[in-house]
Amino acid sequence: MREEIGTAGGAVPLPDDAAEADLPPILRGAPASGSFRKLRKRLVRQVREAIETYAMVEPGAKWLICLSGGKDSYTLLAILTELKWRGLLPVELLACNLDQGQPGFPATVLPEFLDRMEIPHRVEYQDTYSIVTDKIPEGRTYCALCSRLRRGHLYRIAREEGCTAVVLGHHRDDILETFFLNLFHGGRLATMAPKLLNEEGDLHVLRPLAFVAEADCDRYARAMNFPIIPCNLCGSQDNLQRMAIKRMLDEWERRAPGRRQVMFRALMNVRPSHLPDPRLFDFSALFRRGA
Reported as a pLDDT band with limits 50, 70 and 90, residue 190 is very high
Return the axis-axis angle of helices 172-181 and 259-267, rounded to nearest 10°. Answer: 70
Domain count, the chain: 1
Question: 257-280: per-residue pLDDT in tens?
Answer: 999 999 999 999 999 999 999 999
- Asked if pLDDT for residue 99 goes beyond 70, the answer is yes
What is the pLDDT at residue 9? 47
CB 93 within 8 A of CB 118: no
In the chain, the percentage of residues whose pLDDT exceeds 90 is 71
Output the average pLDDT for the chain.
Answer: 88
Residue 286 counted as domain residue: no
Residue 171 has φ and ψ, to the nearest 5°, of -110, -175
Q: What's the rounded Cα separation, in Å, for the pair 223 and 31?
A: 7
Residue 282 counted as domain residue: no
User: What H or E segment, with its residue span, contains residue 123?
Assistant: strand 121-125
Residue 136 counted as domain residue: yes
Residue 16 counted as domain residue: no
Question: 27-56: per-residue pLDDT in tens?
Answer: 998 999 999 999 999 999 999 999 999 999
CB 42 within 8 A of CB 54: no
Residue 81 counted as domain residue: yes
Residue 221 counted as domain residue: yes
Residue 83 counted as domain residue: yes
- Backbone dihedral region for residue 70 (phi beyond 0: left; psi -120 to 50: alpha; all else: beta): beta
Q: What is the 3-state secondary structure (H, E, C) of 90-117?
A: CCEEEEEEEECCCCCCCCCHHHHHHHHC
CATH classification of the domain holding 119: 3.40.50.620
pTM over 0.85: yes
Query: Residue 245 sits in which domain range?
Result: 31-269
Question: 47-83: per-residue pLDDT in tens?
Answer: 999 999 999 999 999 999 999 999 999 999 999 999 9
What is the pLDDT at residue 104? 79
- Asked if pLDDT for residue 234 goes beyond 60, the answer is no
Rounded mean pLDDT of 135-149?
71
